[in-house]
Amino acid sequence: MDGSSSTLTEGKRKPVVIITIGMAGAGKSTFVQRINSYLHSLDPPSPPYILNLDPAVTHVPFDPNIDIRDTVNYKEVMKQYNLGPNGGILTALNLFTTKLDQVLDLVEKRAETVDYVILDTPGQIEIFTWSASGAIITDAVASSFPTVVAYIIDTPRTTAPATFMSNMLYACSILYKTKLPFILVFNKTDVQPHDFAVEWMQDFEAFQMALNSHSGTTDSEGEPTYMNSLMNSMSLVLDEFYKHLKAVGVSSMTGAGVKEFFEAVEASRTEYEKEYLPELQRARASRDKSLQAVKEESMTRFMKDLSIDRERNPNAALRDRWRPEDEDDDEDPDVNIVDRSEEPWPGQYIDVTRSRKGDSESVNWPRPS
Ligand SMILES: Nc1nc2c(ncn2[C@@H]2O[C@H](COP(=O)(O)OP(=O)(O)O)[C@@H](O)[C@H]2O)c(=O)[nH]1
Ligand SMILES: [Mg+2]
């Protein structure tokens, strides 16, 4: 397989965005580090553009181009909003998302020179998958670039049929939420080969057998327990779901399987262009239309309120004029997302919680009223 693409004549292809998602400890960050070093080792090397979106990580095993920790200090966020760790991470991600346009600009600028953009997400899976910010980030990148989800699974911890199934159901829910090409990455194959998983995914009966051979599946009268019959019927649902995904086994420790992972990514690119992109555009068009309707309706309501108000209180409008000269022209330079790979990185830490000019004491984050 050579690296040259058939579309070279049409100029550079768009980079593929790989979003890594997975339970805490599944090995997302280690995986990102591994695929990063793999891409560097190619001939010619193809360094990816990496975004770290985990504000709470203390050590990142790779050099991110954009690091959420440069923009938001999640511990400071915890203090100022009186939040626990999860709330702090979520709020940090929300704050970062308010700067997403800058992030996308930076990625867009590099789109000509990189083949892959990689996102490492917060340790706790739900912070990214079930938050508004996660959805906004995912939607934004997926509408600009071919995007795939790499769902990282802790293979040694998923050998019990019930655990395996709950993990697959979680993956399933993310697939239906993101509607993006999906690659199941069975990680840590150096500890536990993933062939059992492949067998269970391909052979429905093998999985049911594994399920039934586990203890606690029948009650004292030999009837299948509620849990067991529930799992049996859910595994039928999953059978359908498996048809929509690719599975690869990798070891982020040794690098085994990484090549196969990238083959799956390339296949997903085609899938994205053929299936997901048209669907995405359709969805967006209909969303724009309904958004437009909402806007028009609220505008009409607003104009009506205004005219009632004018009638009741004809002089109020005069007093309420906006006088630009009253505004101080303190142009807030705003917080900037830094691209470490572009700017000379002087090592400064940008703490957005204290960045407003002349207002170093009080907190000025938006707060829910
Ligand atoms: N044996 C083995 N351990 C791994 C592998 N990938 C990750 N780990 C370990 O799993 C733990 C969690 O990894 P990390 O990347 O921080 O997980 P994250 O929370 O999903 O980002 C670390 O101790 C890693 O060293 C692998 O392929 N094999
Ligand atoms: Mg991590």
Go through the domains of the chain in sequence order and give each one's CATH number. 16-276 (3.40.50.300)
State the pLDDT confidence band at 347, using cuts at 50, 70 and 90.
Answer: low
Position 173 pLDDT exceeds 60: yes
Q: Which of 170, 250, 252 to mutate to test the pocket of ligand 1 (most atoms within 8 A of CB)?
A: 252
Which residue's CA is the closest to the ligand 1 atom numbered 8? 27
Which one, of 291, 287, 288, 337, lies nearest residue 101 by Cα?
337
Greatest mean pLDDT among 188-197, 298-307, 311-320, 326-335 lies in 188-197
Ligand 2 center–CA 339 separation, angstroms? 20
Position 355 pLDDT exceeds 50: no
**In the predicted model, what is the mean pLDDT of residues 45-49?**
95
How far lies 288's CA from each of 41, 282, 284, in Å?
Answer: 43, 10, 6
The predicted pLDDT at position 170 comes to: 93
Contact (CB, 8 A) for 151 and 182: yes
**In the predicted model, what is the mean pLDDT of residues 332-351?**
59
Position 7 pLDDT exceeds 60: no
**In the predicted model, what is the mean pLDDT of residues 22-38?**
96
291 or 49: which leads in pLDDT: 49
How many whole angstroms from its chain centre is CA 99? 15
The predicted pLDDT at position 357 comes to: 47
**In the predicted model, what is the mean pLDDT of residues 93-100?**
93
**In the predicted model, what is the mean pLDDT of residues 329-340?**
61
The predicted pLDDT at position 238 comes to: 87
Protein residues with C-beta less than 5 angstroms from the ion ligand 2 = 28-29, 123
Ligand 2 center–CA 24 separation, angstroms? 7
**Could you read off the pLDDT of 117-154 as tens digits, one per residue?**
999 999 899 999 999 999 999 999 998 899 999 999 99
Please report, rounded to a whole number, the percentage of residues in the chain having pLDDT higher than 70.
Answer: 82
**Rounded Cα–Cα distance for residues 191 and 180 (Å):** 29
User: Interior CA angle at 59 toward 54 and 65, to 5°?
Assistant: 60
The pTM for the full model equals: 0.78
Q: Is the dihedral of CA 135, 140, 141, 144 positive or negative?
A: positive
211 or 87: which leads in pLDDT: 87
Q: Which of 28, 29, 30, 261 to mutate to test the pocket of ligand 1 (most atoms within 8 A of CB)?
A: 30
Residues in the ligand 1 pocket, defined by CB under 6 Å: 22, 24-30, 123, 187-188, 190-191, 251-253
The predicted pLDDT at position 22 comes to: 96
State the pLDDT confidence band at 250, using cuts at 50, 70 and 90.
Answer: very high
Helix H or strand E encompassing 235: helix 226-242
Contact (CB, 8 A) for 61 and 342: no
Q: Is the dihedral of CA 353, 355, 360, 363 positive or negative?
A: negative
